[in-house]
Structure 1
Amino acid sequence: MTTRQVVVIEGKSVPISNLDKVLWPEVGLTKTHLLEYYARLYPYLQRHWQGRALTVTRYPHGVDGEFFYQKNVPPGAPAWVQVRTIKDVNYVVAQDLATIIWLANSGAIEFHPSTYLAARPDTPTHAIIDLDPTPPAGFADAVEVAKYVRELLDKLALKGYPKLSGATGVHIYLPLEGSCDFQLSSQLAYQIGLALQTAHPEKITLERLIKRRHGVYVDYLQNSPGKTMVGVYSPRPTAQATVSTPVDWSDLDYYQPEDFTIKTVPQWVEERGDLFSGVLEPQSLQHLFFSKVQ
C-alpha cells in the first residue's frame, strides 16, 4: 500500500511517500533513515553541492533492485525546483534541502554534483585524483597510492583533500582558481597520474581498458566535462549503506570504508567538522609547469 504525505521545508511543499520502504535490506535501513540522514547532513553538504547540476542514481526498490541514472529533471517536478539547461540536458540544481529531500524520496540514494557551478558550466572548481583499485588490489592499495599523491602534491606546493569513495577507492580533490578550465584540470590530473605511474609502475596504472589494468588505476578522465563523481557526504548503494566521507590524511591509516555509514557519519561530522572545507578555498596554479610534474 502506497502512503503519501506532504512536508513543508522552508516554505516549500515536498511530497514524500512509503517511508517504511527498505532501501538497505542487509542492515534494515529504510527511506526514513535516508531522508533523516540528508536532513541532518545538509548544513555540511550544502556548502559543496549548492548551485551545482545534479546527476542522481535512483534505486526505487532498494539497493538490491534495479537502478538507473538520472540527469534530466523528471516529469512532474514541483514548480519550485530549479532547473538549468546545460548542453541539452535539463539538470536539477542543488539549491536547498527541499530539493534534496524531494529527489531522495524518489529513491535517489547517490548524488553526483557537477564539478562546476551550474552558472559557470565551463569552469571546474576542483580537479579530482580518482584512485580506483583493480582486484585483487583493494582499499589498502588505494590508501598507499593516496600517500604517494600527497607527497607529490607537497613537492608541487598544491593542496589536496581526501575522501573515501564509500567503496574501495579514495578521491583527492584539488581546489582550483576561477580561471581554470576543463582542459587544465584534466591535464593536471593526467600529469599527476603519469608522474605516479612512472615512479611506481608496479602499483599504478593509467590504462583505460579494465582487462589490462593492474594495481590502482588513476582515473584522470573523471575531470572531463561530462563526467560525474559521487558527492562528498553522499550515501552509496552498498550493503552496509556506506557514505563517501572526507577524512584527514592521518585518518587513512586508521579507518575502513565500512566505518562510515549513514548511521555513523552524522556524529563523525558533528565531532570533526567539515574536513572538506579546504576544497572551497581556490588555489592558484600559476607556479606550476606541467613539464616539472614529470
Structure 2
Amino acid sequence: MAKPAAAEIVVPGPDGERAVRVSSPDRVIYEATESTPEVTKLMVAEYFASVGDGLMRALRERPTALERWTKGVRPGMRLATGAQDRDADAFYQKRVPKGAPDYLETATITFPSGRTADEICPTELAVPIWCAHMGTLTFHPWPVRRSDVDRPDELRIDLDPQPGTSFADVVRVAGVAKELLDDLGLVGFPKTSGNRGIHVFARIRPDWEFVDVRHAAIAFGRELEKRDQGVTTAWWKEERGERIFVDYNQNSRDRTIASAYSLRPIPGAPVSTPMTWDEIASVTDPRVHNLFTVPERMADGDPWAAIDDVANDLAPLLDLWEEHPVELNYPPDYPKMPGEPPRVQPSKKVAEHWDAEGNRVEN
C-alpha cells in the first residue's frame, strides 16, 4: 500500500504565510472512545492551529521542552522520565531535534547540573505545528523568556490531587487559592491540567531568581494549608494523606508544567484548558474540554487574554516566606541544596545518621 502523502498546513508567519508539512497525516494518535472519535496526526496539527492565539500566548519566547508521542497514545504506553526508561513509548525532547526548519529559533538554558542546552523557543505559530509533525502532544515551557532565562516571569501553583481525593476537592481548593491571591493583591489565571489537577499561573516581574520564586510557592502552599485542612505541602507521598498537594517544586529550575492549550496523553484527547475563575468553580468533568470542544471556546475569546497585562509583585509571598524560612526538599535529581532536609523517607530515617544540616553521617 502506498504511503499517504504528507499534508500541509498554512499559518500566518512574520513575513506572510508559512506552510508547514505534516507527514503521516492519517496516523491515529488517539483511538476513539465512547464520547470522542479517533484523532489523527493531522487533526492534532489542525487543533494547534485553531487555538494558535492562546497557545502562542503560553509559549512565545519561552524555552520549551516537547512531550513526544510519536506512536500515538494507547493503553499501557509509558513516558520516559529517565535513562532507565529506554524502552518507553514516549519521551521528553529537551534539545532541538535534528531536521528543525530554519525559522525555528532557540534559547540556551542551564540545567541544575550546570549543563546547558539549546531548547526550542517558539516565536511563531508554525513552530508548534512543526512540533505536531514531530509527534508532540504536550508543550512544557519554562517560566522564563529567552531575554533572561535565569529570572522567571511566572509563578505556577500546581494543585495535585492525591489518592483518595476527587476533582471536586481540587475545585474547592482552587477557590481557596483564589481568595488567598485576592488577599495578597495578586492576579492569577486558572486552568485545568487536562487530567485531575488544576494549575494557577500568575505573571510576575522578572526581578527574582528561581530559588525566590520557589520559596514564594512554598509560602503560598503553607498559607493554603492554614486555610484548608485538605491541603498539604509534604514532599514525601507517605505524609500527604488524602489531601491536595501544592507541588512547589514546579517552580524549580528545569521543572515545567503542561502549557495552556496543550493536549494530554490520555484517551479522549483532553486539553489543559484556560478558564475564568467562575468557570473553574463549576467544572465537574475536565475531560469534556478536549481537542473537539476547546476550539469552540476560542470563538468567544481566550479566558487568559489579559494574562500579560499584569506583572505581579512577589514581595507579599516572600514576606510570608521570611516569617518561616524553613526549606523543603528539592527534586531527587538536584544536587543537595543549602538548608534542604534529609533526602530520605521519614519512615526510613534514623536520626543519628543525619546531621543538623541534613547531610548523611557516615559511620
Please state if 1:15 is matched with 2:42: no
- Could you tell me how far apart the structure 1 residues matched to 2:125 and 2:321 are? 44
CA contact (8 A) 1:133 1:142 kept: yes
Aligned pair partner of 2:320 in 281, 285, 290 = 290
The 3-state SS of whatever aligns with 1:128 is strand
Partner residue, 1:60: 70
Residue 223 of structure 1 and its aligned partner are, at CA, apart by 0.4
Q: Could you tell me which amino acid in structure 2 is paired with residue 61 of structure 1?
A: K
Residue 291 of structure 1 and its aligned partner are, at CA, apart by 5.6
Aligned pair partner of 1:245 in 273, 298, 302 = 273
Q: Could you tell me which amino acid in structure 2 is paired with residue 183 of structure 1?
A: V
CA 1:292–1:159 in 2, change beyond 3 Å: closer, same or farther?
farther
CA contact (8 A) 1:52 1:94 kept: yes
Q: Could you tell me which amino acid in structure 2 is paired with residue 211 of structure 1?
A: E
Cα-to-partner distance string for 1:134-173 (whole Å, 9 max, x where unaligned): 1121211111111111111121121111111010000011
Q: Could you tell me which amino acid in structure 2 is paired with residue 212 of structure 1?
A: E
Aligned pair partner of 1:144 in 172, 175, 184 = 172
Residue 210 of structure 1 and its aligned partner are, at CA, apart by 2.5
The 3-state SS of whatever aligns with 2:313 is coil
Q: Could you tell me which amino acid in structure 2 is paired with residue 261 of structure 1?
A: N
Task: Count residues in correspondence.
Answer: 292
Q: Could you tell me which amino acid in structure 2 is paired with residue 67 of structure 1?
A: A
CA contact (8 A) 2:6 2:25 kept: no
Partner residue, 1:78: 101
CA 1:218–1:287 in 2, change beyond 3 Å: closer, same or farther?
closer
Residue 293 of structure 1 and its aligned partner are, at CA, apart by 7.8
CA contact (8 A) 1:161 1:278 kept: no
CA 1:85–1:178 in 2, change beyond 3 Å: closer, same or farther?
closer
Aligned pair partner of 2:92 in 33, 44, 69 = 69
**Which structure has the highest strand share of the two?**
1
CA 1:287–1:254 in 2, change beyond 3 Å: closer, same or farther?
closer
Aligned pair partner of 2:233 in 191, 195, 206 = 206
Residue 98 of structure 1 and its aligned partner are, at CA, apart by 1.4
Residue 181 of structure 1 and its aligned partner are, at CA, apart by 2.4
- Could you tell me how far apart the structure 1 residues matched to 2:305 and 2:18 are? 28
Residue 97 of structure 1 and its aligned partner are, at CA, apart by 1.5
CA contact (8 A) 2:4 2:26 kept: no
Higher mean C-alpha deviation, range 217-226 or range 62-71: 62-71
Cα-to-partner distance string for 1:190-244 (whole Å, 9 max, x where unaligned): 001011223333x111122223322110001100121011001111111111101
Higher mean C-alpha deviation, range 174-183 or range 125-134: 174-183
When Rg is computed on C-alpha atoms for both structures, the one with the higher figure is: 2
Cα-to-partner distance string for 1:92-113 (whole Å, 9 max, x where unaligned): 1111121111111111011111
The 3-state SS of whatever aligns with 1:89 is strand
Residue 81 of structure 1 and its aligned partner are, at CA, apart by 1.6
- Could you tell me how far apart the structure 1 residues matched to 2:257 and 2:321 are? 28
The 3-state SS of whatever aligns with 1:283 is coil
In structure 2, runs of 5+ residues without a counterpart are: 78-88, 111-115, 325-363
Structure 1: which 4+ aligned runs deviate by more than 6 Å? Answer: none
The two structures have a TM-score, normalised by structure 1, of 0.92
In structure 1, runs of 5+ residues without a counterpart are: none
Q: RMSD between aligned alpha carbons?
A: 1.9
CA contact (8 A) 1:72 1:90 kept: yes
Alignment of 1:2-151 (within 5 A): 2-5=3-6, 7=8, 9=11, 10=13, 12=18, 14-26=20-32, 27-64=37-74, 65=77, 66-87=89-110, 88-151=116-179
CA contact (8 A) 2:176 2:227 kept: no
The 3-state SS of whatever aligns with 1:140 is helix
CA contact (8 A) 1:126 1:279 kept: no
The 3-state SS of whatever aligns with 2:175 is helix
Cα-to-partner distance string for 1:15-62 (whole Å, 9 max, x where unaligned): 321111111103311112111111111122212211111111111111
CA contact (8 A) 1:132 1:218 kept: yes
Q: Could you tell me which amino acid in structure 2 is paired with residue 81 of structure 1?
A: L
The 3-state SS of whatever aligns with 1:154 is helix
Higher mean C-alpha deviation, range 165-174 or range 278-287: 278-287
The 3-state SS of whatever aligns with 1:117 is coil
CA 1:2–1:103 in 2, change beyond 3 Å: closer, same or farther?
farther
